[in-house]
Copies of this chain bind each other. A is one copy, B any other.
Amino acid sequence: MARKLRMGMVGGSYDAFIGDVHRKAARMDGRIDVVAGAFSSNPEKSQETGKRLAIDPSRVYDTFDAMLAAEKKLPADKRIDFVTVVTPNHMHFKPVKAALEAGFHVVCEKPLSYTMDEGREIKNIIAKTKRAFMLTHNYTGYPMVKQAKAMVSGGELGKVMKVVVEFPQGWILALMSSVGLKINPWRMDPKVSGISNCMGDIGTHCFNLAEYITGLTIDSVCADLTCFKGQPLDNDGNVLLRFNNGAKGVLHASQISFGEACGLNIRVYCEKGRIAWKQENPNYLLVQKDDTPVMTYERKGGGYLTPAADRGSRIPVGHPEAFIEAFANLYVNFADTLVALEEGRKPSDLELDFPGVDDGLRGLAFIKAVVDNGFNDNSKWTKITV
């Protein structure tokens, strides 16, 4: 009989955005139950969150240390299987390290950590503890992104020549008006966010998506970052890209692009074809190749889809799936991997298709390069070094 995996959370109190997305995504497919948590640095808030989530109060903890210690003592068929860390950036490292060392598998929100050094240490700990680790670069969970990856990195469209990847948002302007996306302003605080706001938060998604779909690495960047409105960290960035195969690219991300909500999108131009995808209407992938007209591939659209794209779908073509479903696809693959490990079986490539610590390290290296370059008018190109 199937069993449900048990998840414990660090962070994600009742008023947090992304923590609740993790829960909805984990629950949707009936593979995972949230059974424990240290949901806030404020113990009362943690208890209140547990109450609202109908979690046994004895498994709602004041601190992540307390959670790890107590859960470790529970019998194997009761204790949590893995820990999901959804705290702000500066609070990723400690609970991730502690959870891994306590023997738990770990899911961590991006970025991997506050500094590159922390990130490298996490990589070492994972190697040592042999625990599964997932970093939620969630946009790679969309089926049509997987289709794009299969077609582009698989070579079907020929050599990649140019990539344009964008993530416009307008929420920082919206904070000053009544329109649009409201996001917690901790991202603007260097002590919490680290060296970057905009590039760290959403520029990394662009970077990750471009590398994921092309299967290439981005060698170097030339950037112009701006701290509009007198903020201490960047809230807009425009970046030129050079890929390891000679391809060129443009990456731009912004939090001051009036009216934009979650406008992540990517276009990849190859020698024999192209793809284009937009997160806000994610069930479609524009594909053109050879001498075909522009084609619109649809999620569950038919025999033209690859197994990876097909696997990430629940319901038939025309019945849209969206953000939470894509997020859930990461959890499905992670759950399959944990079950495989439990059964002593090597997970398949499809099961292992979720972002991990190396994606996290590359993301941190990108942030460092782009910040180094983007505020220096004399430096044209900066290498990305993990």
Contact = CB atoms under 8 A, between A and B. Distances in A.
Given A224-B242, A248-B238, A270-B258, A290 B179 contact: yes
Interface string A291-335: 111111110111110000000001111111111110000000000
Nearest to A220: B377
A17 B315 contact: yes
Contact of A324 (B168, B240, B321): B321
Interface in A44-77: 51-54, 57
Contacts of A283: 280, 322
Contacts of A127: none
Contacts of A290: 177, 179
A378 interface: yes
A178 B317 contact: no
B261 A316 contact: yes
A273 interface: yes
A120 interface: no
A155 to B, nearest CB: 14
Contact of A262 (B257, B273, B317): B317
Contacts of A3: 54
Contact of A294 (B34, B291, B298): B298
Contacts of A226: 248
Interface residues of A, number: 102
Given A1-B54, A252-B164, A180 B378 contact: no
A274 B177 CA distance: 14
A1 B51 contact: yes
A291 B261 contact: no
A180 B380 contact: no
A274 B248 contact: no
Interface in A276-290: 279-283, 287-288, 290
A146 to B, nearest CB: 16
Contacts of A1: 51, 54, 57
A324 B269 contact: no
Contacts of A168: 269
B23 A30 contact: yes
Query: Closest 10 CB pairs between A and B?
Result: A261-B318, A262-B318, A320-B322, A322-B322, A259-B288, A261-B317, A293-B295, A319-B323, A258-B274, A178-B291
Given A54-B3, A249-B238, A178 B303 contact: yes
Contacts of A84: none
B302 A54 contact: no
Nearest to A274: B258
B280 A257 contact: no
B258 A272 contact: yes
Nearest to A323: B319
Interface string A25-55: 0011110001000000000000000011110
